[in-house]
Amino acid sequence: MLIRREHTDNGGLLGIWKMDESRAELLQLLPEHMRSDAVEHIKTIRSERRTTEWLSTRILLFMLLNEEKTILNHPDGKPYLEDGTHHISISHTKDYAAIYLHKTHLIGIDIEIRSERVRKVADKFIGDTEYIDPSQKTVHQLLHWSAKESMFKLMEENEIHFKHHLHIQPFTPASKGIITATETKTDHNRTFNIHYEVHPDYVLTWVVG
């Protein structure tokens, strides 16, 4: 189910899909001319969850642009549109899929279900000098992860280490806001303003380069 379609203030187009349909229901939501190819493709996907993600993403993209687009992947796995009309970033988490599109700028988006599991791995991606609010530790850690995921998707670099190359400036989580972050992977040491939102079920971040 489409739960969000929004033009952002930096020229992007953002969409979120709640994945609560069956495979058969998703296929029926595809335009008829896209359906036969989709049926053939999902036969090659072994995982039911991956099938749901694949179908939801194609339906969401069609609903965002109101025309058929083909998503391909670079050797490193990053998606792109075959016709090159937009830059695209895609994210999946439990029950949700998100897409961000921009005609001229590189972009990144990430959506993460809210879960305590992030606490177990936080020391692998949060630097020693990065601030975590002890009163909302889990959501703050999750926002760090999500913001770094969005940065990673935007940057056209290999072998990025989240803890050593991507740095979140101190902030206190609110329901939404902007996270300032820097990268030290390249000689440019770029700074990014990453939009974030905290929802009851998930956190969302996106960035435009």
What's the CA gap between 153 and 149, in Å, rounded?
Answer: 6
Strand locations in 19-132 (E): 71-73, 79-81, 87-93, 96-102, 107-113
Residue written as token pair 């990025």? 160
Tokens of 201: 């079920």
Quote the DSSP letter at residue 125: T
What's the CA gap between 192 and 209, in Å, rounded?
Answer: 7
Per-residue pLDDT of the chain (209 residues; tens, 9 = 90+): 999 999 999 999 999 999 999 999 999 999 999 999 999 999 999 999 999 999 999 999 999 999 999 999 999 899 999 999 999 999 999 999 999 999 999 999 999 999 999 999 999 999 999 999 999 999 999 999 999 999 999 998 989 999 999 999 999 999 999 999 999 999 999 999 999 999 999 999 999 99
Burial of 90 (0-12, 13-18, 19+ CB in 10 A): buried
What's the CA gap between 126 and 145, in Å, rounded?
Answer: 8
Contact between 142 and 118 under an 8 Å Cβ cutoff? The reply is: yes
